[in-house]
Amino acid sequence: PRPQQGGHRITEEYLTSLSPGDCVWRFRMTASQLCTLATALKIPDPFITGYRSRFSAVEALALLCARLRTAAEMYFLTILYERSQSAISDVVNELCEWLDERWKHLFNCDRDHLLHPTNLRRYA
């Protein structure tokens, strides 16, 4: 049987209600860092998935961070953050793709230097 969906929807108010330590434990960032990063990355607000689930930019980023932070089943996140497993899966996958597409010029910035694949093979 699947667990009951519950918990709290992730909002800026919810994040700021957490202690800094609890927020870092859940997301590896403080509430202010999550909000600042969502703005800096220019994540669309709302972030709408292909299946029409709507997330605030901060909620989408926080769910991605929570998913990357834990090795637990995704159903654990449904218990904590009042979203279905399929909606969490959609936003995590689509936000990863969006970030990769939007910021690929930064991910590929070191083509000829330290992180070039030929140099990485040589270092190994």
Q: What is the dihedral of CA 57, 60, 64, 67, to 10 degrees?
A: 150
**Identity of residue 119:** N
Whole-model pTM? 0.83
Kind and range of the H or E run holding 95:
helix 85-102
The share of the chain scoring above pLDDT 90, in percent, equals 69
With 70 as the cut, is the pLDDT of residue 111 above it?
A: no
Confidence of residue 90 (pLDDT cuts 50, 70, 90): very high
CA dist 22 and 38 (Å) reads: 19
Q: Provide mean pLDDT across the span 44-50.
A: 96
Domain ranges of the chain: 12-123
- The pLDDT value recorded for residue 72 is 72
Say how many residues make up the chain. Answer: 124
Question: Is pLDDT of 4 > 80?
Answer: no
**pLDDT value for 122:** 81
Question: CA-CA distance, 92 to 16, in Å (whole number)?
Answer: 22
Distance of CA 19 to the CA centre of its chain: 19
SS3 46: coil
At residue 6 the predicted structure's pLDDT band, cuts being 50, 70 and 90, is confident
β-strand partners of 7: 81
